[in-house]
Structure 1
Amino acid sequence: MNVSPKSVVASLFLLFTAPAFASSPASSHSPNLKSGSAAPGESESARYARRCQNHAPTRGSSEQGTLLWGTRQAWRSRQGSETQRSVLVSVDIQASFHPDGKTQSVRLENGRLVAEHDTTRSLLGTVFQGTSSDGKPVEVALCGAEPAPDDPELVWYRIEAWNPVAQEWENPCAATGNLPDPRALAVSGFWDSRGAHHATPGKFTLACEDGAITKCIRWGYKPWASRDGQSLADLHQACTRMARADYCGNGRSHTRQGTTIDMYDAFGMLSPTTEASAAWNPAHASFEAAWAPDGATCMARTRQGEALEKILQECPGRFSTSAAASLGGGDDCAVQRVKESDRTALLRNRSY
């Protein structure tokens, strides 16, 4: 495929290399965390000793879809259409303990979790206090870590959370046929059910492989990075809206699993794909929308063929149909944001 090195197509298949995680030793320490209780007849120390025991170090490919965090929506049921729910939304970086029985002080540096006073100290086995989308506490164990082979700046974490229904430690990431045991990236702040990012001190997100947060980082939009002195945090946030086709900026997705898109940005990091390949044929694609951190700034059409009127009804007063707008390069909008200040697009995409 002869394309610009700044080009990318977000396709059905995004390949990862198989890792070799190291599991942590069992701990007899029983911290004062709140997410659940041991099974009848089982001590708290025995419950914690069961964390990080079962995992399959296999990797396949990641499919683009509707999930934001990439996590399971609930412990009790299969994945459904309620993509604004998650068993794990945020993690408290201060509420943690280490297998050696000592309180563990941890900080997050550009996507890496490190011990506060000794960066060489292993964090494997550390248990953090997290929160689900319904506000309930959940314990999260850090079971493995390795640099991404294709980007050593990134660290993949294998995690387990205490499932109070099954009374087991389980991977909270949503599994697929291609990703039976997904990993996670650590990202500063957290996202609410409307898809808005909150840069809350002391909070971070363990974003799973199949979610938009992680995919946008994989596409190059690392929120902790900068380009020409300008932070990429807003570009990453705009990408999470685009990946899920969250036109109204309310957390509702309007795409389907496996949809292929082409993206390009105002920073010059990614350019439109111009050469045809097995994954993408630009001759069959057209401009879909332009994006800001809080949703679409203008739209030509929807990704899955829904009528534009349906989107206008979902977020009344957000877009105007009175005048079409041209962004240049053949990207013409059928509707655009009402407020002038809301029309600054950081990202655009094309789709079939």
Structure 2
Amino acid sequence: MNAMKKYLFAWLCLQLPVLAHAEPARSASVAASVSKAERHARRCQSQSLHRTVKPQGTMLWGTRRDWDTEKVANERSSVLVSASLTPLLLAEGQSKTLKLEGGHLVAPSADKGVVGTVLQGTSSDGKPVEVAICGAEPSAEDPGMVWYRIEAWNAVAQEWENPCVALARVPDPRALAVGGVWDESGAHHPASGRFTFACENGAITKCIGWGYKPWASRDGHSLASLHQACTRMARADYCGNGRSHTHEDTPLDIYDQLGVLTRTTESSAGWELSRASFEAAWAADGATCLARTRDGRAMETILQECPNRFQTGAALELGEGDRCTVRRKDVNPAASLLRNHSYGPSKAAVPQEKNL
């Protein structure tokens, strides 16, 4: 009997460390639920910078694909794709509905603006997500445009986080308020009472920075369609289905019919003419014709990705040395909204199909 007691005692001692480590691990994996009042009270508090380590490719919204950092999410998914102009929680002295005027939000009859407001947002899978406006900084280049510092409620971690993806060049990204919403195919839709928080590192905001402000016009022509064509071009979304065919920080030269941007004719520190060549012409729903792919994949892969969209045949001259070898069946490439040159892919560049 004494031998048996000693054996049981020794076995229990061996199990205690295992049990002690098992309980914290279980607790850490499931965040405790937070009440609505406490959740709102915790908004806009400074937190350590969160950075994702998952490959992002070239982003449309510039937002994280999923709150779960261990999940491999499709590039056409986002934790935040739109927000409502009707607040869930008002800033002090604010009216019940916001308005979007050009590139900024307006609170009619408000004393303290929109900072502190909580809005109802939506993720790409249709789930609700709350968004807090934590700061508003007027653009130095355009007084009518405002940069917003936002936080979204991460229901997985039960805390507020910046939904915008941070990159080395923009480690603390902000967002612009842009009218309408973009679906998973990259198509823009007008939406009454809703808008998009487009983050700094996404194509929607990049194109605005390049001069294509969708709320503006040039020579009496709206820039909305040019902006949409730019979002396709920025991501090399040839098929107009939301799939990109490029890599981050690929140099581009863009020029359009209205002259918002014109073709670069001289080399500089950021652009080498000798390395660049014509890539594609673009419409709001994707490429109208291609000379080559940006990331070096075979043209056949694009033809297979969107069958019956393009056709091959005799080269089509667009002028100024731009020549297409593959063209749309239903669109005249000569009537494209904009064109681009880019560097040809390096021999070492191998497209990562699994990240598309």
Q: Same fold (TM over 0.5)?
A: yes
Task: Confirm or deny that 1:232 pairs with 2:223.
Answer: yes
C-alpha separation in 2, matches of 1:199 and 1:150:
26
Alpha-carbon displacement from aligned partner over 1:35-85 (angstroms, at most 9, x marks no partner): xxx944x5432221110011589xxxxxx9510000000001168672101
CA contact (8 A) 1:96 1:103 kept: no
TM-score (norm 2): 0.82
Q: Which amino acid letter does the alignment assign opposite residue 201 of structure 2?
A: D
Cα deviation for residue 203 of structure 1 reads 1.1
C-alpha separation in 2, matches of 1:271 and 1:342:
18
What residue is the counterpart of 1:100 in the other structure? Answer: 92
Task: Confirm or deny that 1:76 pairs with 2:68.
Answer: yes
Task: Confirm or deny that 1:216 pairs with 2:240.
Answer: no
Give % identity: 62
Alpha-carbon displacement from aligned partner over 1:129-183 (angstroms, at most 9, x marks no partner): 0100011000000000011223323210000000001100110001123322210
Q: Which amino acid letter does the alignment assign opposite residue 46 of structure 2?
A: N
- Over 3 Å counting, the alpha-carbon distance change for 1:275 and 1:264 in structure 2 is same
- Over 3 Å counting, the alpha-carbon distance change for 1:343 and 1:193 in structure 2 is farther
Task: Confirm or deny that 1:258 pairs with 2:258.
Answer: no
Query: Residues 283-294 of structure 1 correspond to what in structure 2 (within 5 A)?
Result: 283-294=274-285
Task: Confirm or deny that 1:168 pairs with 2:166.
Answer: no
Alpha-carbon displacement from aligned partner over 1:195-251 (angstroms, at most 9, x marks no partner): 000011111000000000000000000000001111000000000000000000000
TM-score (norm 1): 0.83
C-alpha separation in 1, matches of 2:305 and 2:210:
29
Cα deviation for residue 344 of structure 1 reads 2.6
Alpha-carbon displacement from aligned partner over 1:289-331 (angstroms, at most 9, x marks no partner): 0000000000000001111111011011111112321110000
CA contact (8 A) 1:185 1:208 kept: yes
Q: Which amino acid letter does the alignment assign opposite residue 322 of structure 1?
A: G
SS of alignment partner, residue 237 of structure 2: coil
Task: Confirm or deny that 1:152 pairs with 2:152.
Answer: no
Cα deviation for residue 342 of structure 1 reads 7.0
Q: Which amino acid letter does the alignment assign opposite residue 113 of structure 1?
A: L
Any unmatched runs of 5+ in structure 1? 1-37, 58-63
What residue is the counterpart of 1:45 in the other structure? Answer: 37
Alpha-carbon displacement from aligned partner over 1:11-52 (angstroms, at most 9, x marks no partner): xxxxxxxxxxxxxxxxxxxxxxxxxxx944x54322211100
SS of alignment partner, residue 152 of structure 1: coil
What residue is the counterpart of 1:54 in the other structure? Answer: 46
Cα deviation for residue 341 of structure 1 reads 5.5
What residue is the counterpart of 1:304 in the other structure? Answer: 295
What residue is the counterpart of 2:5 in the other structure? Answer: none
CA contact (8 A) 1:142 1:160 kept: yes
What residue is the counterpart of 1:177 in the other structure? Answer: 168
C-alpha separation in 1, matches of 2:176 and 2:305:
32
C-alpha separation in 1, matches of 2:332 and 2:106:
39
C-alpha separation in 2, matches of 1:103 and 1:48:
18
C-alpha separation in 2, matches of 1:81 and 1:267:
38
Any unmatched runs of 5+ in structure 2? 1-30, 50-55, 344-356
Q: Which amino acid letter does the alignment assign opposite residue 71 of structure 1?
A: T
Task: Confirm or deny that 1:109 pairs with 2:101.
Answer: yes
CA contact (8 A) 1:72 1:79 kept: no
The CA RMSD over aligned residues, in Å, is: 2.1
Q: Count residues with an aligned counterpart.
A: 307
Which has the greater radius of gyration? 2
What residue is the counterpart of 1:127 in the other structure? Answer: 118
Q: Which amino acid letter does the alignment assign opposite residue 265 of structure 2?
A: T
What residue is the counterpart of 2:58 in the other structure? Answer: 66
CA contact (8 A) 2:280 2:287 kept: yes
What residue is the counterpart of 1:85 in the other structure? Answer: 77
Q: Which has the higher helix share?
A: 2
C-alpha separation in 1, matches of 2:58 and 2:331:
29
C-alpha separation in 1, matches of 2:47 and 2:134:
9
The structure whose RCO (Cα within 8 Å, separation 6+) is larger is 1
C-alpha separation in 1, matches of 2:48 and 2:317:
50
